[in-house]
Chain A
Amino acid sequence: AQSVTQLGSHVSVSEGALVLLRCNYSSSVPPYLFWYVQYPNQGLQLLLKYTSAATLVKGINGFEAEFKKSETSFHLTKPSAHMSDAAEYFCAVTQAQKLVFGQGTRLTINP
């Protein structure tokens, strides 16, 4: 079965600093990978997806992620954090027809 591990349940960065959220997956087949963002009391919004095309994937709001098969990783980055980036971020991998999510990383932005 596929699984996702997000390293760090809480990450805090200063406004303008680099954001790095870590995701490692295990999959017996070539995976499709996703990052979602969730603001308080809201559903999940798709940030970006990897579907076996380019290994560097660009998403919305300035986020990008790089698929590294050798490291089984799909880390999310943003060069310069903005206060509006404060939210919960989830990495997910497909397993048959469904998504398997990590436990999430709460991102806090310090002014």
Chain B
Amino acid sequence: DTGVSQDPRHKITKRGQNVTFRCDPISEHNRLYWYRQTLGQGPEFLTYFQNEAQLEKSRLLSDRFSAERPKGSFSTLEIQRTEQGDSAMYLCASSLEPYEQYFGPGTRLTVT
């Protein structure tokens, strides 16, 4: 059990550019979640997959955001036309049951 991994750990991009983050869940976990955490706040839910199906999306997930989980394994989160307000820590979590989520180290995005 190597835990949840995320890549990259840090990303600096210019406003208007597209970015993509990757999450590799714990191997036997069929549920995968994305959260966003801004400075001084708790994580906020973005989206949830069970296997390859995206079952829920938050209203926080604007049209510029898209997430995929092909083949029910790793997941990617893409942000198009980044804005300064997108600067945050993006956290991925996975679980086997619908609770007890295990989190990765996060990807810190800075939009300049």
Main secondary structure of the interface of A (DSSP, over half): strand
Which residues from chain B contact A60 at a C-beta distance below 8 Å?
none
Question: How many chain A residues have a CB neighbour from B under 8 Å?
Answer: 25
How near does chain A come to B75, taking the closest CB pair, in angstroms?
A: 15
- Cα–Cα, bound, A90→B37 (Å): 12
Closest-by-CB residue of B relative to A4 is B42
CB-based contact A99/B101 at 8 Å:
yes
Which residues of chain A from 26 to 42 have a CB within 8 Å of any chain B CB? Answer: 32, 34, 36, 41-42
CB-based contact B56/A96 at 8 Å:
yes
Cβ of A100 within 8 Å of any chain B Cβ, yes or no, is yes
Which residues from chain A contact B6 at a C-beta distance below 8 Å?
43
Interface positions of B (Cβ within 8 A of A): 4, 6, 31, 33, 35, 40-45, 48, 50, 55-56, 91, 93, 98-106, 108
